[in-house]
Amino acid sequence: MDQLNAYGFFLQLTGLIFAALVVFGFAVVFQLVTLPVEFNASRRAAAQLQTLRLVTNEGEAAGVRQTLTAAAMTYVAGALASVAQLMYFVMIFLGNRD
Q: What is the pLDDT of residues 25-61, one digit of tens each?
A: 999 999 999 999 999 999 999 999 999 999 989 999 9
Mean pLDDT of 70-89: 95
Per-residue model confidence (pLDDT) at position 1: 45
Report the share of the chain in percent with pLDDT over 90: 69
Question: What is the distance between the alpha carbons of residues 22 and 90, in angstroms, rounded to a whole number?
Answer: 10
Which contiguous run of DSSP H or E holds residue 63? helix 58-94
Mean pLDDT of 62-89: 95
Q: How many distinct helices (H) and strands (E) make up the chain?
A: 2, 0
Per-residue model confidence (pLDDT) at position 34: 95
Mean predicted lDDT score pLDDT of the chain: 87
**Which of 64, 71, 32, 29 shows the shortest CA–CA distance to 48?**
64
